[in-house]
Structure 1
Amino acid sequence: MSADRHLLIVEDDETFARTLRRSFERRGYLVESASSFDGLQDLLAGGLAPTHAVLDLKLSGSVSGLACVQAVRAAAPSARIVVLTGFASIATAVEAIKLGADHYLAKPSNTDDIEAAFARTEGDAGASVEARQSSIKTVEWEHIHQTLVDTDFNVSETARRLGMHRRTLARKLEKRQLK
């Protein structure tokens, strides 16, 4: 295991975290993991300075993975940070990058995808800029998700800002998981 490949995983899905851990350890990474923002803070307070980090966007509890991005970037300014999420949105991608993430990947992503993201240090100027077709449902979902980000994932406050009943919002969130 190499000190120049010290990976931090913050993921609340124990099975997925264990799978990532084993896979990265086989690739020569020294791996530390936490399942919450509090666990991350404990590791960082103990002097952990990772060279790489994989952070889940939606963690159990009230703190999102965006706070984890900020904490890791503050503790390890040169770390390569990849944010993983089961629900990718423009709003959270922009926020993650603004807070210091290097890349943002939608789940399901495997070790190869994550390692490739670690290796990419430049943007791709050749990426397609064609307008994508968005359905009304997609636009609605992106607006809901942006409001969730703005309220730090507070469902009651999000429902109030959107002018909808909390239960209606809860049903919409159940249909499209944020994880």
Structure 2
Amino acid sequence: MAGRWSGCYCRSPRRFRRIERVADDERCLLIVEDDASFARTLARSFERRGYRVHVASSVPAFDALLGTIRPGYAVVDLKLGSGSGLSCVRALHERDPATKIVVLTGYASIATAVEAIKLGASHYLPKPANSDDIEAAFGKGEGDVEAPIGARATSLKTLEWERIHETLADSGFNVSETARRLGMHRRTLARKLEKRPLR
């Protein structure tokens, strides 16, 4: 009888074989995050909730880990040092479209989240996000799967505008300083403000 083996695989007496998704593999969670402290905090929180957690801090680490696990859930930061979480989202979705993927976005990557949704992410959250937010987003993903990309993009644009407006206010409506804080080129910010001026 096949027994359990680490890394979401099972081992038979004659050969190693990858298993298809089984009930307990639904609780296998992959966190792709380059902030070690944040990743540890999330991992501990999800372990307390009964998940089997694996952490990758870079795209190469993710690639190596994905060869040994089959996660039912994934949390992916879109900005991974010099790499991008988009390739991770694509790989996860191509390997198993049923994987629930939540992407985490920062100020400078809100627009990129639209692409992540197109590539297979179930939901997005602005950073910082806690385990309660993320687990709730996993649930929302089931209901959002059929939502058109346009609707999701609109939500992202609304969120982006709220961030811009908040940062503008904090900087005393200094466009250059706002662009710096958002990690955005000043001209890009100016164009966004022209399309949706402050009232």
| Structure of greater Rg | 2
- One-letter identity of the residue aligned with 2:71: P
Give 3-state SS (helix, strand or coil) of 1:33's partner.
Answer: strand
**Alpha-carbon separation, structure 1, partners of 2:42 and 2:164:** 30
Task: For residues 74-128 of structure 1, give each alpha carbon's deviation from its aligned partner in whole angstroms, at most 9, with x where no partner exists.
Answer: 2232110000122265521210100100001001111000000111111398x9x
Match of residue 77 from structure 1: 97
- Which 4+ runs in 1 deviate beyond 6 A? none
Counterparts of residues 8-87 of structure 1 (less than 5 Å): 8-45=30-67, 47-61=68-82, 63-87=83-107
Asked if 2 retains the 8 angstrom alpha-carbon contact of 1:44 and 1:75, the reply is no
Identify if the C-alpha distance between structure 1 residues 60 and 75 changes in structure 2 by more than 3 Å, giving closer, same or farther. Answer: same
Query: How many percent identity over aligned positions?
Result: 54
Query: Residue type matched to 1:108 in 2?
Result: P
Separation in 2, partners of 1:4, 1:22: 18
TM-score of the pair, normalised by structure 2: 0.61
Aligned residues of 1:93 and 1:104 also touching (Cα < 8 A): yes
Give distance in 1, aligned partners of 2:100 and 2:117.
Answer: 12
For each residue in 1:152-173, what CA deviation from the matched residue of structure 2 results, as whole angstroms up to 9, or x when unmatched? Answer: xxxxxxxxxxxxxxxxx9x987
Name the counterpart of 1:92.
112
**Residue 122 in structure 1 maps to residue 128 in structure 2:** no
- 1:75 aligned partner, one-letter code: R
Gaps of 5+ in 2: 1-23, 166-175, 185-199
Tell whether the 8 Å contact from 1:88 to 1:105 is kept in structure 2 after alignment: no
CA RMSD of aligned residues (A): 3.3
- How many equivalent residue pairs? 142
Unpaired segments of 5 or more residues in structure 1?
140-168
Say which structure is richer in helix. Answer: 2
Report the TM-score when normalising by structure 1: 0.68
Higher relative contact order, chain-length normalized (CA < 8 Å, sep 6+): 1
Equivalent position SS for 1:114? helix
Asked whether the 8 Å contact 1:86–1:177 carries over to 2, the reply is no
Q: Deviations over 1:3-57 (max 9, x none)?
A: 3210000000000000000000000000001000000000112x31100000001
Which of 182, 190, 194 is the aligned partner of 1:176? Answer: 182
